[in-house]
Chain A
Amino acid sequence: MNEPLKYAYYPGCASQAITKEANSTTRKIAQVLGIELYDMPKANCCGAGLLTDYDYDLSIALNARIFAQAEEMGMDIMTICSTCLMVMSTANRDLKNNPHLFKKTNEILTGAGIRYNGTVEIKQLLWVLAEDYGLDKLKNKVKKPLKNLRVAPFYGCHSLRPSDALGFDDPERPWSLEAVIEALGAEVTEYNGKTKCCGFQVDLVAEGAAVEMTGKRLLDAKGEGGRCMVTPCPFCHINLDNYQGMAERKLSQKIDMPVFHLSQLVGLALGMTAEELELSRHLVSTKHVLAETKVII
């Protein structure tokens, strides 16, 4: 019997508020799969890149504080947010590659009674499923294969880039999300734009461009026959789902593309109900597509 996988669990800010369903459904699938998630009640926000726009050293120190907690717990970090993944991995890369920064950061942390030794790795739920847990094991757990469901994978930016900091998938020919979709018994829809930006970062700064970007990704996926989308990132979900109505108005066409969190798609294949997966929290209804494909009647 192998030891169960254990992670210091970092859901990120969005999934503790606006996309709560990503957090709660991740906990549910982890329980079924036997992945142990340990809370980090002290963990602060990674800064989502905005702290880097203010003060690089502050951003690094606050991220190191998160890593130090995981180090204390003796675990690697698993997040369900691609932006957290990117920000934390970039900070961790810089800390590990730059001895001067490492020293300076620990001097700052000492003032708060903290030390980071540089032993933690940052992972995303997607990677945990595709690699640590394993696709074969995941397949074995599937109770209700998602037959006939054509799923368009949406990576967005931060689960793939910068590749030298993330070091997992290939941003030019990614495979992990497709592999998980197939392991769940669903069909992958290939389309242009699956590794591009959803526009989230400028929602409040350049809303027009953000909405247009969101619409473009959704229409690309729809044009290739995708019936729904799945994303490993809650920020992408906010734009693809919550902003879809605005995108329809801006581009003057109906899109009607339900968007699942990765954890929800896994949950469906594990046989969970719409209530358990909190699908009613989506702005674009998932009912039709799930009824059509007899996933949830």
Chain B
Amino acid sequence: MKMKIKISRCDPMGKGGCEPYLQGYDIEAKEGMTILDALHFIKDEQDGTLSFRRSCRSAICGSCAVNLNGFPKLACKTQLISEYKKKGAIVIEPLSNYQVIKDMVVDFNPFWDKINKVEPWLNQKDNLPVPLGTDLKSVPKKGGAVGLSGEKKWQTLDKKAVLKINNSSKCIMCGCCNAACNTLEIDKHFIAPAALAKAWRFVGDERESQSQKRLAKLSREHGMWDCVRCIHCTEYCPKDVAPLQAIERLRAEAIKEGVIDNDGARHVESMVDSVKRVGRLDEAAMTFKTLGFLRSLGMIPFGLKMEIHGKMPMPLIFPQIEKIEEVRKIYEEIEKKKRQVEVKVEE
């Protein structure tokens, strides 16, 4: 099957500086060919100046992510002909939200900086059977990982505890999620989904001792509460890491751990209250609870404009749903279950 592939070219060393333009290549697509195969074919047979990152060709090294017809994909994991049939075109560009170095090669330094910011390592609790720095000879052999010479090295997790963080630990750092992230598009300082998924890998690890400190750091400006829940990260992750799920779990954990002195957590808590109280979202109360009294005053000019158009939510008369007692009962049942779990842990 003959087709034209358009590839974004940009060479900062060339004459024109780095203003990207699309260059067309005619190729004969064969059944089973991936986007990466096509890039290789073009580089080998037609244009040796084309630059792109690649290594394993097996969707595990995370090097070959590109924007394909506008969406981030691993070039090695995407079939050429089916993509062409689906979209009617093949346009390959560098990942969005990154600076281009040449052609498809982008600067990954900001990506690694964000990963480093979440301190991607485990700080094991002291009270576990094998804390760091223990004299390994003194540790009994039951449970935990065992080193080559038979000494005990590290406390392992049971299956349930692994499942909690399993998605996050599948990340191959290809950067697709950050390329798709709508918040990062607006705010380049945003910590972004890849690092947040990595953060959950450690916050959600039952051996971790610094969770609360981590959550406090993540709750600052440009942190986890700035995510707009656009779901692009989860949609375009090629390894089902589901970064948004990690973000939701981080947020829930922060509230559970009492890291709540910020607008994001207050926003959530006001929703939880509102649904319990009237069964619905009470917009006026929510604004007030999230922003507090003084900053809510700042909303008055906007509120007046809304009032003129009949859009001001009524703060005082808020009708509750029928059978609100059922909703409250569900809250009670959830609390009861939580207490049971806590008792079990203590036992």
Contacts and interface: CB of A to CB of B under 8 A. Distances in A.
Interface in A45-82: 45, 47-58, 61-62, 65
A290 to B, nearest CB: 17
B329 A112 contact: yes
Interface string A261-283: 00000000000000000001111
B206 interface: no
A173 B321 contact: no
Given A44-B280, A108-B330, A212 B186 contact: yes
B124 interface: no
Given A47-B275, A112-B333, A113-B326, A205 B263 contact: yes
Interface string A23-63: 00000000000000000011111011111111111100110
A216 B271 contact: no
Interface stretch (B2-10, B103-111, B226-234): B226-234
B248 interface: yes
B137 interface: no
Contacts of A246: 302
A158 interface: yes
B191 to A, nearest CB: 12
A92 B247 CA distance: 20
Contact of B268 (A54, A62, A280): A54
Interface string A192-215: 000011011110111001101100
Nearest to A280: B309
B235 A51 contact: no
Contacts of A171: 235
Contacts of B326: 42, 65, 112-114
B71 A172 contact: yes
B45 to A, nearest CB: 29
Contact of B228 (A42, A213, A280): A213
A292 B49 CA distance: 52
Interface string A114-132: 1000000000000000000
A48 B232 CA distance: 17
Contact of B334 (A61, A202, A204, A242): A61
Instruction: Tell me whether chain B's interface is mostly helix, strand or loop, or mixed.
Output: helix
B145 interface: no
B297 interface: no
Contact of A108 (B70, B268, B309, B333): B333
B208 interface: no
A270 B300 CA distance: 37
Most buried by B among A47, A200, A205, A209: A205
B186 A53 contact: no
Contact of B267 (A41, A52, A112, A204): A204
Interface in A225-280: 242, 245-246, 280
Contact of A53 (B69, B255, B291, B321): B255
B262 to A, nearest CB: 8
B333 A61 contact: yes
A161 B235 contact: yes
A171 to B, nearest CB: 6
A146 interface: no
A31 to B, nearest CB: 22
B283 interface: yes
Interface residues of B, number: 64
A109 interface: yes
A162 interface: yes
A111 B329 contact: yes
B231 A86 contact: yes
A45 B274 contact: yes
Interface in A146-196: 157-158, 161-163, 171-173, 196
Given A44-B327, A50-B267, A204-B263, A173 B86 contact: yes
A199 B228 contact: yes
B182 A197 contact: yes
A204 B272 CA distance: 16
A51 B275 contact: yes
A5 interface: no
B290 A242 contact: no
Contact of B269 (A52, A54, A109, A114): A54
Contacts of B112: none
Given A16-B280, A205-B264, A173 B329 contact: no
Contacts of A204: 263, 267, 286-287, 290-291
Given A17-B313, A18-B311, A172 B275 contact: no
27 contacts: A14-B281, A18-B306, A20-B310, A44-B280, A44-B321, A45-B279, A47-B271, A47-B275, A48-B281, A53-B248, A53-B251, A54-B271, A108-B334, A108-B337, A111-B332, A158-B231, A161-B235, A162-B235, A163-B235, A173-B86, A196-B232, A197-B228, A202-B183, A202-B228, A210-B228, A213-B186, A216-B186
Interface of B: 69-71, 86-87, 182-183, 185-187, 221, 225-232, 234-235, 248-249, 251-252, 255, 263-264, 267-269, 271-272, 274-275, 279-281, 283, 286-287, 290-291, 302, 305-306, 309-311, 313-314, 321-323, 325-327, 329-334, 337
7 A-B pairs with the lowest CB-CB distances in the bound complex, closest first = A13-B281, A112-B329, A197-B230, A197-B182, A50-B271, A53-B251, A161-B231
Interface of A: 13-14, 16-20, 41-45, 47-58, 61-62, 65, 86, 108-109, 111-114, 157-158, 161-163, 171-173, 196-197, 199-202, 204-206, 209-210, 212-213, 216, 242, 245-246, 280-283
